[in-house]
Structure 1
Amino acid sequence: MASGNPFFDDLQSKPEVIDPPQNEDILDGESVNDPTQPTTKPNLVVSSSVRELLECPVCLNAMYPPIHQCSNGHTLCSGCKPRVHNRCPTCRHELGNIRCLALEKVAASLELPCKYQSYGCVGIYPYYSKLKHESQCSYRPYSCPYAGSDCTVVGDIPFLVAHLKDDHKVDMHSGSTFNHRYVKSNPHEVENATWMLTVFSCYGQYFCLHFEAFQLGMAPVYIAFLRFMGDDNEAKNYSYSLEVGGNGRKLIWQGVPRSIRDSHRKVRDSFDGLIIQRNMALFFSGGDRKELKLRVTGRIWKEQ
């Protein structure tokens, strides 16, 4: 955006953030117990030597079947075998197709705590269920929902609220209604899309209101949507509405806030929000249709 022409009244323009990669390292093809049901056994201590045995020497991740070994007994995971061109990374002997069944059985006998134990998860899980559980664990940290910079901060909700306020200088509001005015002197510029993020506190929860300009095919459009700072099952307990208009016309959107587990880009690309064509936005702005002046109002409510 051109210097001296702020997109918004109360926030400087920021470049759009690229979504961090999602963890898709989930065990496939194994018969495991329900990962959502932790055992009630006391916390078990597994010696460091056993953990080292199950650590791939190439990628340093935990190994899952099939676990390969060379003729000297050195092991590595199946994912790294092609990376070392079928040569043992420890002794350089040819790997062949030897499978380390003994180590796979050792792994099957282990039960370990979730790696998000420090965030509050108290479950103990079989070795082959642990990875799948961790990909779905309700205690796993959230990514920072700020979309105006390449922020890699993760944490629980109270930590992220403080982070947004202190580090990103996000506007924080209390209450379930809002009335925001978005201004841009040159609405024909939609490249290097900029965002506005406002955090609302209501019903004992936190919500993020986003506003962005982006290119939809050949047409420049604006989108506004709400995200819930929590998991999707909680987000479904709330609804919100957005309204924008002018010159006797208005557009109204009603929806359910998306969890911040879904990235801002994913929400935008699914068009799950109030979308305003640029021509309509300029019509709402009045005047000579050369300057964007949009007022977006809305409210959040809890479903009974």
Structure 2
Amino acid sequence: MAPGGGICKEVCESRSAFADYDVTTANLELRSSPFRKATTGVGGKHGMPSTSGVHELLECPVCMDLMHPPIHQCPNGHTLCSNCKARVHNCCPTCRFELGNIRCLALEKIAESLELPCRYQIFGCHDIFPYYSKLKHEQNCQFRPYSCPYAGAECSVTGDIPLLVMHLKDDHKVDMHDGCTFNHRYVKSNPQEVENATWMLTVFNCFGRQFCLHFEAFHLGMAPVYMAFLRFMGDENEARKFSYSLEVGGYGRKLIWQGVPRSIRDSHKMVRDSQDGLVIQRKLALFFSGGERQQLKLKVAGRIWKEQ
């Protein structure tokens, strides 16, 4: 038995099956991930990263990500990252000894001298970064995968734009349209039920890029409203190259919105809560709908253009 170490108590051992499942699942997912193969630095800051042996020493055996301080170790010298220390209930996933609060200072020191490629190299990022700058870069890397822009349900799918376009079409059955002008009609039989938001999404192929038109109902404070807005399937710097307009009206009245599409890097909720789009109060929406105002019938016209 290692000095100062002890086999985890029964309560910890009873959870080991769960820990084993986590470790096995994580290893299978990460070993098959394209990110795991991205270990050769080309382009950017040219050169080869540090030896693969040292690189592997810094991989957490549970999540397979590179470890950042604090790096923990058990009395037998097995290491893992601080996030996974809690996941395995303070039991070493390798030897089942109690982890305690031992830091692996030597490995943390070695990490300071490493330069490694971005984990999104397979998507086009060819830069190499000092070990401690790598994580910060990856949080904002322009090549990192996009999240699915569909807002009607929680969707965990991520990928590049072509993959997400196919995903929206095949899995979410989203309407796809070609062209930079549109005229859509939104109908809701019971507009009083604003709390049961109606999520609608249409994708437009325009200028060789894709734009997502959202239309929905929700409460803005206590006031029920409808909102339409456009999101660009790409990064923010590309989104700024485009503008769009939306208009809705009836009976000689018209509301017009003009703005810049938001990148899908910004979450759907972020855009909606910022009110960055055409916002229509329910009373006005029902007025535009005509009749006895018992049914919502809004015609939303729009146009997308490229700025010079």
| TM range, smaller chain | 0.7 to 0.9
Check whether the contact 2:75–2:97 (CA below 8 A) recurs between aligned residues: no
Check whether the contact 1:67–1:78 (CA below 8 A) recurs between aligned residues: yes
Q: 2:49 aligns with which of 44, 49, 67?
A: 44
The worse-fitting range, judged by mean Cα deviation, of 268-277 and 70-79 is 70-79
C-alpha distance in 2 between matches for 1:84 and 1:279: 55
C-alpha distance in 2 between matches for 1:199 and 1:163: 12
Give the equivalent residue in structure 1 for 2:119. 115
C-alpha distance in 1 between matches for 2:191 and 2:262: 27
Deviation of 1:148 after TM superposition, in Å, equals 2.3
C-alpha distance in 1 between matches for 2:293 and 2:122: 54
Check whether the contact 1:142–1:260 (CA below 8 A) recurs between aligned residues: yes
Deviation by residue 1:231-290 (Cα, 9 ceiling, x = unmatched): 011111111111111111111111111001112121111111111111110011111111
How much identity, in percent, do the aligned residues show?
74
Structure number with greater CO (CA < 8 Å, separation at least 6) is: 1
Q: 2:129 aligns with which of 125, 144, 164?
A: 125
Aligned length: 265
Change (3 A) 1:292 1:58: same
C-alpha distance in 2 between matches for 1:78 and 1:154: 26
Check whether the contact 2:239–2:261 (CA below 8 A) recurs between aligned residues: yes
The worse-fitting range, judged by mean Cα deviation, of 293-302 and 144-153 is 144-153
Change (3 A) 1:59 1:166: closer
Asked whether 1:175 is paired with 2:176, we answer no
Check whether the contact 2:242–2:261 (CA below 8 A) recurs between aligned residues: yes
TM-score (normalizing by structure 1): 0.78
Asked whether 1:278 is paired with 2:282, we answer yes
SS at match of 2:169: helix
Check whether the contact 1:88–1:95 (CA below 8 A) recurs between aligned residues: no
Q: Which residue identity is paired with 1:40?
A: K
C-alpha distance in 2 between matches for 1:106 and 1:292: 64
SS at match of 2:164: helix
Give the equivalent residue in structure 1 for 2:294. 290
SS at match of 2:304: strand
SS at match of 2:190: coil
Alignment of 1:13-162 (within 5 A): 39-44=44-49, 46-47=51-52, 49-57=53-61, 60-79=64-83, 90=95, 92=97, 95-96=100-101, 98-162=102-166
C-alpha distance in 1 between matches for 2:174 and 2:87: 45
> Is there any run of 5+ residues in structure 2 with no aligned partner, and where?
1-42
SS at match of 2:256: strand
Deviation of 1:135 after TM superposition, in Å, equals 1.1
Change (3 A) 1:57 1:44: closer
User: Which structure shows the bigger proportion of residues in helix conformation?
Assistant: 2
Q: Which residue identity is paired with 2:302?
A: G
TM-score (normalizing by structure 2): 0.77
SS at match of 1:227: strand
Alignment of 1:204-223 (within 5 A): 204-223=208-227
Check whether the contact 1:111–1:126 (CA below 8 A) recurs between aligned residues: yes
Aligned-residue RMSD, C-alpha: 2.4
C-alpha distance in 2 between matches for 1:86 and 1:147: 38
Asked whether 1:246 is paired with 2:256, we answer no
> Is there any run of 5+ residues in structure 1 with no aligned partner, and where?
1-37
Q: 1:233 aligns with which of 228, 232, 237?
A: 237
Check whether the contact 2:73–2:99 (CA below 8 A) recurs between aligned residues: no
C-alpha distance in 1 between matches for 2:271 and 2:225: 15
Give the equivalent residue in structure 1 for 2:259. 255
